[in-house]
Structures are given as C-alpha cells and as structure tokens.
Amino acid sequence: MPNVYVPIVSDTPETILRHLYAIDSEVVNAAGILSVATSASGSTFVTLPAQTCKQLTAFNLTGTTLSFQRNGTGPTIEIPDGVSWMFRGLSDASNLSVKRTDEDGSAVTFKAEWEN
C-alpha cells in the first residue's frame, strides 16, 4: 500500500505540505559529476568508472551520437547530440559502457551526473 497522509483539522498548511513532499520526493544521499571519454579506436565500448549510484544522467553535448550498453552485452541505447538520458536501476556507473555510434576514431568526452 502506498504511503498515505490524511491531514487533520489542526494541521497547518506547512505541515500538510511537509508530509506530502516527504511521500512524493526522492531522497538523494550523494551526487557527483563524471567526465567520460570514448575510445580512440571508435568501435570499442568504454566502461564508465566505478561509482556507486542508483541512477546516472548522461548529457551528450559531443557533436555526435553515443551508444550506451548495460552490463557489457545486449542492445544499445543511442543518445543523439544535444540530448540527455537518465539510466535508472543501477548499482554502479560501471554497469554502463559507451562508444561513438559512428565508430569514428576521434575520442569525445561527455559529462554525467550520478545520484545515490
């Protein structure tokens, strides 16, 4: 059953909002920024650095499309230039790997924000 708050007559508006916010908000215990470069070979996936996190938002401002893969196998998610994407359900940033979709040999660097 979801958390439910039933206000009582004596509750102030501030108390009601505080209870509702606590029910609906996510708590972030720690956060930080990663800077990750793709491989200079172009066709090789690079594993993101080890960083405990529950979610990671990748900001692709590289000028090219990036391909992300979970756990080193399976399908990829292509993130075009100028787009950000949130990966949820992680235990560590190293669950993800990245490469240039066009497999060009020029490495590019993107930023990502991790949250735990």
Using one digit for the tens of pLDDT, what is the confidence trace for 1-30?
455 545 565 666 776 666 555 554 567 889
Q: Give the residue numbers spanning the domain of 53.
A: 28-115
* Per-residue pLDDT, 70: 97
Note whether residue 3 is domain-resident: no
Note whether residue 79 is domain-resident: yes
* Per-residue pLDDT, 19: 59
Percentage of residues in the chain having pLDDT higher than 70: 78
Give the DSSP letter of residue 40.
T
pTM for the structure as a whole: 0.77
Which of 1-15, 16-30, 35-49, 59-73 is the least confident region?
A: 1-15
* Per-residue pLDDT, 5: 45
Cα-based distances in Å from 106 to 38, 41, 48, 68, 76: 8, 7, 18, 17, 20
Note whether residue 110 is domain-resident: yes
**Inter-residue contact 93 to 56 (CB < 8 Å):** yes
User: What is the domain-level CATH number for residue 59?
Assistant: 2.60.120.10
**Tally of domains within the chain:** 1
Note whether residue 97 is domain-resident: yes
Note whether residue 80 is domain-resident: yes
**Inter-residue contact 113 to 32 (CB < 8 Å):** yes
